[in-house]
Amino acid sequence: MVYQSEVRPVSVQESQPPGTWRYCGNQLLRWRTQSGISREELAAATNYSSATIKSMEQGVRMPTPRLLDQADDLFKANGKLSAAKDYLRREKFPARAQDFMAREREAISLWSYEVALIPGLLQTETYARALMGNRCPPLDDETVEERVTARLERQSLLTRKPLAALNFVLYEAALRGPHVDKEQLLHILEQGKLGNLTVQALTFDRANSSALSGPMVLLETRDHERLAFSEGQSISQLTDDPGVVSSHTERLSMIRALALSPDESARFIERMVEELMTERLTWFKSSYSDDEGSNCVEVALAWHKSTYSDREDASCVEVAACPAAVHVRDSKVTDSPELAVAAPAWSAFVSYASRRA
């Protein structure tokens, strides 16, 4: 029996906005034209740009309730345009991703490889918001909020019953992306402790050219349907074509073999956290600095409460973020090279310098 593919590749051009948007936008255009009002006049009356009005009339953007009410009054539509508000809703996901999101919810297993970004299932709210807020063309604030909420809701897959088997491989460039902070890295480490989830890091020195071809996802549904999903700037493709699924499976297997093991990956990410903490150390004058600051060195240690502190702070000790070393630099030339000194050696030096002073 020949296996028939039921899922077509979906491109941006094929991914139409919701039909309700397009129908309502068309009605808005017809009422405006019938009323003899130009797009620019409607824009001025409603405090929207003419480009925004055009995108709503074309159904590319959802007509807003405020615009519909104002247009209804302006065109004397007797409530016909305002009534459309009850039938309009924003989609949680971009049109080109909706089929994939529906299948993802059904997944019993998922394998993901990311080259440049942290996968949505592993993103913190802060990271997701930073990505949504830097889209081009930009998203309005309401859409950003809805997309962030939807992305966080997707993460219920991680702990859904019955559990899905989830596997993530992240290229080092994704882990070092501009919006990746300590919170995001620690979140990945925490999620990696889930029994049904593995995280692997593919470091720069281990990657080959095939690993740089772009992100991809393989998933298997409850009906044991196997699908491949790939996404770029101009096209997305979701398919169950056996040849494509096989090709993606082979490529992902190769990438997983190149990547660090889950334990090695956890240690690698932990070192990245330490790097971030070192970069953001708080600098202050050392005790071996004169009052005028003419002979001044600065040291860096980020202190915080240890777990051996009671709630009333009566018995509190503090520990350094980098207890193994003290970072020293010239306070007058803050971009000068830093000297990392073992903490015991620094203490001995300060003690010696104090006696010599």
The C-alpha atoms of residue 185 and residue 166 are separated, in whole angstroms, by 18
**pTM score of the predicted model:** 0.60
| Amino acid, res. 284 | F
To the nearest 10°, report the CA torsion of 191, 192, 197, 203.
Answer: 120
Q: Burial, 17: exposed, middle or buried (Cβ in 10 Å; 0-12, 13-18, 19+)?
A: middle
Per-residue pLDDT reduced to its tens digit, 161-182: 999 999 999 999 999 999 999 9
Question: Which has the higher per-residue pLDDT, 125 or 323?
Answer: 125
Question: Which has the higher per-residue pLDDT, 307 or 334?
Answer: 334
Half-sphere exposure (Cβ direction) of 310: Cα atoms closer than 13 Å: 4
The C-alpha atoms of residue 199 and residue 177 are separated, in whole angstroms, by 17
Please state, as a whole number, how many other Cβ atoms lie within 10 Å of the Cβ of residue 227: 24
| Amino acid, res. 136 | C
DSSP letter at 122 equals G
For residue 85, name the pLDDT band (cuts at 50, 70, 90).
Answer: confident
**Which DSSP string corresponds to 139-176?**
PPHHHHHHHHHHHHHHGGGGT-SSPPEEEEEEEHHHHT
- Whether the predicted pLDDT of 309 surpasses 50: no
To the nearest 10°, report the CA torsion of 174, 179, 182, 183.
Answer: -100
Structural domains in the chain plus CATH codes: 19-88 (1.10.260.40), 96-277 (3.30.870), 297-354 (no CATH)
- The mean pLDDT value for 344-352 works out to 64
